[in-house]
Structure 1
Amino acid sequence: MRNLARLSATGAATAVLAASLVAPAQAAATSWSACPAAPGVDARQECATLQVPLDYQAAGGPTISLAVSRIRTAKPAARRGVLLLIPGGPGSPGLNRPSALVKKLPQDVLDRYDIIGFDPRGVGQSSPVSCGLETRDLSLTRLKPYPDADGGIAENAAWSRRIAEACARNGGPLIRHITTRNEARDIDGIRRALGERKISYWGVSYGTYAGAVYATMFPERTDRVVLDSNDDPDPNRVARQWLANYTVGVEDRFPDFAAWAAARDGEYGLGTDAAAVRQSFLKLAADLDRDPLPWPGANPAELNGNLLRETMLNALYSDANFPVLAGLMRAALTKGELPPSNTPPAAVMQNTAASAGATMCNDVEWPDSVAAHQRQVARDRVAHPLTAGMPVNMGPCAYWPVKPAERPVRVGSNGPANVLLIQNLRDPSTPYSGALKMRQAFGQRARMVSVDSGGHGVYLANGNACGDRSVTDFLTTGRLPLRDKNC
């Protein structure tokens, strides 16, 4: 649910690409048709649907639909294959990512690859799943489990049980089969349906874990693998660790915002140095815990301390968002008019909450002790006040109605040396410390490019020419750097 505030709905896929995965499917030009018109969809993007098993342990049983898209290579004579874009989240759509990224990808890459997008199972146009949650349960400060203002988690425990029960009641059979292992199997189905012997892909955020699982389950079917903003692949904790890593990531990244705001103290009045800006944020969050401000259009419809913290976390994803956080803080401090809220549509949040929750809960078992979580939250609020205990709090997985059907994949070094990791040093969501564990897991298969930058997303995201060139060179030549490198 890390990218919830930035999600958007996607257009529907319209044609059938393959009806069965029993035998390798062949690409067929007549299987594709134009995508439905939607803002930002490139006229060259084509759409299709692919049928895959609901349950891979019963491959002859019911199927679900995957929505797939492509923009074909700009230079067919130079075509190497396909570059699949694996979206983040978990729970983020990806059907229209080719349209967004064809404007940014270097021509050398566009010449060599068909750019492929897809909505993962349960997401967007791919047999979407919903738990039918109440509006109150779609609050951004619940979907990330922020404790109450006093640090108590009784409300979190009640919310967690309510969400798990709603998903069991309303999620249908699909809710039990949304896992990272199954996403990797779906990706292999896309590869086969496209008629490709091997597949190249670019995974971002959660997409790095899905991509790493694919590279471990199907190593000989990988061509060139780029993993951007890397999740910690700890097989004993998986998403539990991703959530806990917010404490590290936010502390790594907040100084960038604080220095930026201090340099603009005349405009925002948050402090003349980074330490003063940090204190301004912490004091304002504490004040809003006690005395929230009305914020029409937001969910909840008030700016409380936790909603300020959630706004901060999302602002740290990109320097371009710094003015949003600084402007909100200034308005709250001066009791001025708050800017319009950027709450995602309820339908998008319903789908994301269900698909993300299912992935996180079905991948690994979570502890259910309220008392143990309360102790963790109390410690974490002292050690990491910026996130106020949220990263170690309990959520719906504590009460999830089914146990994981399979153990998490242990990412490993068996397979070709064809994995390039690229990572910002100051990422608020997937911190550098976690990325180093992904690098260690891949061993001799991988090289890592570390970029001296902040934010979430590296390749073509922050203007670091050295980092961008490293990825482009790998995608176009297949050559990894001789050793890990810093940019």
Structure 2
Amino acid sequence: MRLSRGLLAAASGLLVAVSGCTSPSSEETAAASSAPAPSAPAEPVAADIAWRDCDAEISQFVAGAPGSERDLAFECGRTEVPISYDEPQGETLPLFLVRARLAGQTDRIGSLVVNPGGPGGSGADAGVALALSLPEDVLRRFDVVGFDPRGVGASTPVECVPAEVKDRFVAAEPRPATPEQVDEAFALTREAADACAAEYGEALGTFTTVDTARDMDLLRQSLGDEQLTYLGYSYGTTLGSTYAELFPDRVRALVLDAAVDPDDDPRGEAEAQAAALEASVDAFAADCVALVSGCPLGPEPRRSIEELLAQAAAAPIPSALPGETRQATPGVVVYAVLAAQYDTSSWPQLTQALAAARAGDSQGLFALADPLSGRLADGSYTNLIDANLAINCADTDPASAVPEEEVRALAAEWGQRYPLFGAGSAIGLHTCSVWEAERTPVPERDAEGAPPVLVIGNAGDPVTPLSGAQDMAEDLTSGVLLTWEGRGHTAYPKTDCVTAAVNAYLIDLVAPQDGLTCPA
């Protein structure tokens, strides 16, 4: 999953796009992260992982899910990494991870470390999900290991945006058009930034992709692997390619699926995502109209969405779910549409949710929107939004900031060009301009000296357009491009062609021919 500044903005018009751990105080973290770097810092030492059997807990949680019949054993682990790599022997922070192992493994190769994207997605959750869904050929050779990156989930989670502010993010005007609406979007962005600065201060600069890549190398050592075997989706491709840049000789195999463009400036990335999302909605509409039974949204689904937005603007739409007091604003409508674009299997659900909302019941919209924002049934939130903001902004070069007046102009221009997502994507360009934290920009990445790196792009990806994978494969000295002609976000293991190519690469280190294309 990729929740970039632009994508979260496209949904809300505002944002950048199993076990708990005790985190150090913000004062301790700030002191460690801001201390002067020694002239020759000692090498960080990998700490042991304290594993415990959590098979019963996880097995109960996934019972009945596809793949849960597999004979898997789950362990939960905790280890420590330096808060600051300028002082690798100084204060540490905890990382949480999950390891899944299939019974009857043969010719075990090692660990397959996974990341689902975000930034802000739980790698521990991803490890469980992928253990249920990856091909058994892979599971027979690898343990699946997912870890929550620093600042995420149960690994010293960044928690600084109040739940009611997140509710307002989702509900806010998704297509700011007037100066007053843009001002309101900027003010809400500032409110979140101020809350995080007050909570963490300089420690916000601790949660970076560069340091997470360094953490991942310590995890590799703690897991006992001489080299890293890695599967990263979406933002996980940024993390994986950063690892390859820092430690090219420690790479065994990297699969970078749904690659984030390493070359686009913030404007280019935001506009490309808005355009790709609009194209995906067009495909959704065409798919609905082609239904033999007829489209429940009528012959023009796009117009139906616009009419629903007008309906929600005039009077927010209540939910028939017992106990639900929220009402769907236009922001919720757009958030639900966005959420369904990640996977075409969600299109029927979106169709029914939009049709029900037109009839006065918005519960289907919230069912789609809530998982994307990290909202739980009790009204609380995971820290997905907080971590997404903190990591994205800590990774951003201040020199790339887009001036406020240009953001306003782009909101007007893109709002016309990309009716559902353009204005919100433009507003997202403002977010890190008001973020108060030390920055550690992601480096340029050619990963010279690394073995072949498999980069996968999807011709119909609404979140990370194919051009990103093409640029990533070109930039990496040993990049190998595999293209899937399908729709939705990410490709492996969705089709036989892609699955066969990735399996051969992960297991036997046989990369496909550069430029191979797999049919939809």
Give the TM-score range, shorter chain: 0.7 to 0.9
SS of 1:96's partner is: helix
> Which of residues 150, 155, 159 in structure 2 aligns to 1:130?
159
> Which of residues 382, 385, 393 in structure 2 aligns to 1:353?
385
Letter in 2 for 1:449: L
The structure-2 alpha-carbon separation of the partners of 1:336 and 1:178, relative to structure 1 and needing over 3 Å to count, comes to: closer
Which residues of 2 match residues 191-340 of structure 1 at below 5 A?
Answer: 191-234=220-263, 236-237=265-266, 242-264=269-291, 266=293, 268-272=295-299, 276-295=300-319, 301-335=326-360, 338-339=363-364
Q: In the alignment, is the contact (CA less than 8 A) between 2:205 and 2:438 conserved in 1?
A: no
Letter in 2 for 1:450: T
SS of 1:483's partner is: coil
The structure-2 alpha-carbon separation of the partners of 1:204 and 1:149, relative to structure 1 and needing over 3 Å to count, comes to: same
What's 1:18 paired with? none
How far 1:265 sits from its partner (Å)?
7.5
Which residues of 2 match residues 50-129 of structure 1 at below 5 A?
Answer: 50-72=79-101, 74-129=103-158
What's 2:62 paired with? 40
Letter in 1 for 2:340: A
Q: In the alignment, is the contact (CA less than 8 A) between 1:11 and 1:95 conserved in 2?
A: no
What's 1:448 paired with? 481
- 1:287-320 residue CA offsets vs partner (Å, 9 max, x unmatched): 4334432347799933222321211111011122
The structure-2 alpha-carbon separation of the partners of 1:133 and 1:51, relative to structure 1 and needing over 3 Å to count, comes to: same
Q: In the alignment, is the contact (CA less than 8 A) between 1:248 and 1:431 conserved in 2?
A: no
SS of 2:146's partner is: strand
How far 1:481 sits from its partner (Å)?
1.5
- 1:56-112 residue CA offsets vs partner (Å, 9 max, x unmatched): 122222110001221236455501121101121100111133322222222221122
Letter in 2 for 1:188: D
- Equivalent residues, number: 465
Q: In the alignment, is the contact (CA less than 8 A) between 1:12 and 1:125 conserved in 2?
A: yes
SS of 1:203's partner is: strand
TM-score (structure 2 length as normaliser): 0.81
Letter in 1 for 2:364: P
Q: In the alignment, is the contact (CA less than 8 A) between 1:98 and 1:116 conserved in 2?
A: yes
Letter in 2 for 1:445: S
How far 1:122 sits from its partner (Å)?
1.1
2:432 is the alignment partner of 1:397:
yes
Q: Give distance in 2, aligned partners of 1:75 and 1:479.
A: 24
Q: In the alignment, is the contact (CA less than 8 A) between 2:337 and 2:350 conserved in 1?
A: yes
Letter in 1 for 2:151: G
Q: Which of 110-119 and 255-264 deviates more? A: 255-264
Letter in 1 for 2:53: A
Q: Give distance in 2, aligned partners of 1:428 and 1:472.
A: 25
What's 1:458 paired with? 491
The structure-2 alpha-carbon separation of the partners of 1:329 and 1:72, relative to structure 1 and needing over 3 Å to count, comes to: closer
SS of 1:37's partner is: helix
How far 1:370 sits from its partner (Å)?
2.9
Identity within the alignment, %: 29
How far 1:11 sits from its partner (Å)?
3.5
Q: Give distance in 2, aligned partners of 1:469 and 1:324.
A: 30
Q: In the alignment, is the contact (CA less than 8 A) between 2:169 and 2:188 conserved in 1?
A: no
Q: In the alignment, is the contact (CA less than 8 A) between 1:265 and 1:271 conserved in 2?
A: no
Which residues of 2 match residues 175-194 of structure 1 at below 5 A?
Answer: 175-194=204-223
Q: Which of 303-312 and 188-197 deviates more? A: 303-312
SS of 2:474's partner is: helix
What's 2:15 paired with? none
> Which of residues 452, 462, 468 in structure 1 aligns to 2:499?
468
The structure-2 alpha-carbon separation of the partners of 1:289 and 1:115, relative to structure 1 and needing over 3 Å to count, comes to: same
Q: Give distance in 1, aligned partners of 2:271 and 2:324.
A: 24
What's 1:148 paired with? 176
How far 1:136 sits from its partner (Å)?
3.2
Q: Give distance in 2, aligned partners of 1:266 and 1:356.
A: 41
Q: Which of 122-131 and 91-100 deviates more? A: 91-100
What's 2:453 paired with? 419
Q: In the alignment, is the contact (CA less than 8 A) between 2:158 and 2:386 conserved in 1?
A: yes
Q: Give distance in 1, aligned partners of 2:365 and 2:387.
A: 28
The structure-2 alpha-carbon separation of the partners of 1:23 and 1:54, relative to structure 1 and needing over 3 Å to count, comes to: closer
TM-score (structure 1 length as normaliser): 0.87
Q: Give distance in 2, aligned partners of 1:367 and 1:401.
A: 13
What's 1:17 paired with? none
Q: Give distance in 1, aligned partners of 2:478 and 2:241.
A: 11
Q: In the alignment, is the contact (CA less than 8 A) between 2:176 and 2:411 conserved in 1?
A: no
2:410 is the alignment partner of 1:410:
no
Q: Give distance in 1, aligned partners of 2:384 and 2:411.
A: 25
| CA RMSD in angstroms, aligned pairs only | 3.0
> Which of residues 371, 375, 393 in structure 1 aligns to 2:409?
375
Q: Give distance in 1, aligned partners of 2:159 and 2:362.
A: 35
Q: Give distance in 2, aligned partners of 1:430 and 1:268.
A: 28
